[in-house]
């Protein structure tokens, strides 16, 4: 899906409580209502516009407020007036991750440092974790605690003003890019140099789930999404990985230039599951892809370089015989017989 998007680089995606799909790009924030896009951009001399067109993260808090992290700070969407306010005076800088906890605190990463904002008191604080200077990503668990990842391969758990640090990787400069609390005692972790990892919080043992691709190159994980009870989607610089948590097996989907129904790009970032179970997949060069939560009820035939494929896109005639014949805009093609 590219038509209407302000830019084909989609870094973050979210569905809000009203059903709108929000897509953060490098050239503005897009709101999709199912038919049309509305684009929000920075406007000079308008204090209620976005501070920057580069949108890195989106988050809806427990009260339904939509927070937007940009290249120049953090803002909140004013639904009633269809504009953005900027109540947190944290200064300019890239905000890459946002979440809130059960105590009414809004946590975010600004210029690789951790902050929290007391929303009822409207006060901003910088959070210091002994031994950790920079952070790369954050998320929360079901208990209201905060997990943060670091650029040097560690994660820390923060709750009730206490922090516990877990080493995840000894690989140099292995940045933690995504954290997903899985079950009660495990984390699924996406990294830049060791692929997809699982950390057992009871034993503090880390094991590799996905490390290298078919070309023996390390998988760079960008995002993690639980699509079902047994399926996890992983967006990477090497396409989409679909991991089965029961069997431990996975499938890797790539862009196929000969298949118009494949992914639009291999460099994938945003992952979002909507209320209907569909998956939105944001890419760096190819806009956003959508995987509907429906079973395929028909087979697709389209022009490829393979023998006996269609040679054109416009179909004029279909004739039912033992071998299907399709008359396209260029010539007849023989397709294998279809039986059901």
What's the burial of 303, exposed, middle or buried (CB within 10 Å: 0-12/13-18/19+)? middle
The pair of three-digit structure tokens given for residue 38, joined into one six-digit string: 């509305």
Check whether residue 226 and residue 306 sit in a common domain.
Answer: no
The pair of three-digit structure tokens given for residue 210, joined into one six-digit string: 């996905």
Distance CA 148, CA 164 (A): 10
Distance CA 27, CA 309 (A): 39
Distances (CA, A) of 111 to 68, 97, 133, 271: 15, 11, 11, 23
Task: Classify residue 4: in a domain, yes or no.
Answer: no
Task: Classify residue 213: in a domain, yes or no.
Answer: yes
Q: Are 179 and 169 contacting, i.e. CB atoms less than 8 angstroms apart?
A: no
**What is the residue-level pLDDT of the chain in tens, covering all 340 positions?**
445 899 999 999 999 999 999 999 999 999 999 999 999 999 999 999 999 999 999 999 999 999 999 999 999 999 999 999 999 988 889 999 999 998 889 999 999 999 999 998 999 999 999 999 999 999 999 888 999 999 999 999 999 889 999 999 888 889 999 999 998 899 999 999 999 999 999 999 999 999 999 889 999 999 999 999 999 999 999 999 999 999 999 999 999 988 888 999 999 999 999 999 999 999 999 999 999 987 544 455 556 666 666 565 666 666 665 554 555 554 444 444 433 3
Check whether residue 288 and residue 302 sit in a common domain.
Answer: no
Task: Classify residue 24: in a domain, yes or no.
Answer: yes
Query: Residue 198's domain spans which residues?
Result: 10-295
Q: DSSP labels for 220-234?
A: -EEEEEE-SSSEEEE
Check whether residue 291 and residue 305 sit in a common domain.
Answer: no
Distance of CA 108 to the CA centre of its chain: 17
Task: Classify residue 1: in a domain, yes or no.
Answer: no
Rounded (10°) CA dihedral 32, 141, 68, 55: -80
Check whether residue 265 and residue 325 sit in a common domain.
Answer: no
Residue ending a domain, among 295, 314, 329, is: 295
Neighbours of 251 (CB within 10 A): 11
Task: Classify residue 178: in a domain, yes or no.
Answer: yes
The pLDDT assigned to 296 comes to 47
Check whether residue 335 and residue 247 sit in a common domain.
Answer: no
Distance CA 186, CA 320 (A): 55
Q: For residue 59, what is the domain's CATH number?
A: 2.130.10.10
Task: Classify residue 288: in a domain, yes or no.
Answer: yes
Task: Give Rg (Cα) of the chain.
Answer: 23
Place of tokens 């640090």: 165
> How many domains is the chain partitioned into structurally?
2
Check whether residue 91 and residue 216 sit in a common domain.
Answer: yes
Check whether residue 151 and residue 206 sit in a common domain.
Answer: yes
Check whether residue 157 and residue 29 sit in a common domain.
Answer: yes
| pTM of the predicted model as reported, rounded to 2 decimal places | 0.86
Task: Classify residue 102: in a domain, yes or no.
Answer: yes
Check whether residue 216 and residue 93 sit in a common domain.
Answer: yes
Task: Classify residue 61: in a domain, yes or no.
Answer: yes
Distance CA 262, CA 260 (A): 6
Check whether residue 229 and residue 306 sit in a common domain.
Answer: no
The pair of three-digit structure tokens given for residue 234, joined into one six-digit string: 């992983």
Distances (CA, A) of 16 to 19, 64, 196, 234: 5, 8, 28, 22
Helix ranges restricted to H, 187-233: none
The pLDDT assigned to 103 comes to 87
Considering only CA atoms, which of 48, 32, 43, 58 is closest in space to residue 82? 48
Check whether residue 301 and residue 288 sit in a common domain.
Answer: no
Check whether residue 225 and residue 329 sit in a common domain.
Answer: no
């Amino acid at each position: 899906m590219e038509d209407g998007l302000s830019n084909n680089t989609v870094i973050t995606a979210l569905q809000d409580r009203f059903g709108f799909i929000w897509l953060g790009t490098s050239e503005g924030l897009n709101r999709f209502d199912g038919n049309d896009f509305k684009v929000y951009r920075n406007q000079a001399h308008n204090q209620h516009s976005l501070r920057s067109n580069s949108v890195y993260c989106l988050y809806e808090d427990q009260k339904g407020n939509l927070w937007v992290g940009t290249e120049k700070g953090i803002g909140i969407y004013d639904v009633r007036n269809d504009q953005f306010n900027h109540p947190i005076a944290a200064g300019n800088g890239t905000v890459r991750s946002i979440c809130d906890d059960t105590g009414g605190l809004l946590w975010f990463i600004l210029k690789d440092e951790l902050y929290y904002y007391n929303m009822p008191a409207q006060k901003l604080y910088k959070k210091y974790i002994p031994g950790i200077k920079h952070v790369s990503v954050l998320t929360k668990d079901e208990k209201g605690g905060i997990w943060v990842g670091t650029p040097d391969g560690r994660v820390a758990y923060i709750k009730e003003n206490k922090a516990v640090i877990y080493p995840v990787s000894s690989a140099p400069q292995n940045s933690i890019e995504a954290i997903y609390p899985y079950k009660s005692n495990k984390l699924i972790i996406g990294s830049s140099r060791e692929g997809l990892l699982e950390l057992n919080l009871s034993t503090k043992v880390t094991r590799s789930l996905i490390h290298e691709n078919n070309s023996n190159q390390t998988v760079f994980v960008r995002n993690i999404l639980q699509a079902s009870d047994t399926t996890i989607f992983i967006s990477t610089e090497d396409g989409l990985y679909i991991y089965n948590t029961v069997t431990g097996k996975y499938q890797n989907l790539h862009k196929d230039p000969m298949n118009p129904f494949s992914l639009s790009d291999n460099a994938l970032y945003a992952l979002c599951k909507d209320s209907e179970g569909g998956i939105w997949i944001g890419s760096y060069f190819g806009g956003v892809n959508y995987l509907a939560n429906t079973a395929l009820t028909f087979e697709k035939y389209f022009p490829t370089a393979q023998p006996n494929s269609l040679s054109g896109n416009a179909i004029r005639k279909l004739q039912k015989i033992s071998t299907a014949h399709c008359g396209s805009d260029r010539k007849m093609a023989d397709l294998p017989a279809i039986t059901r």
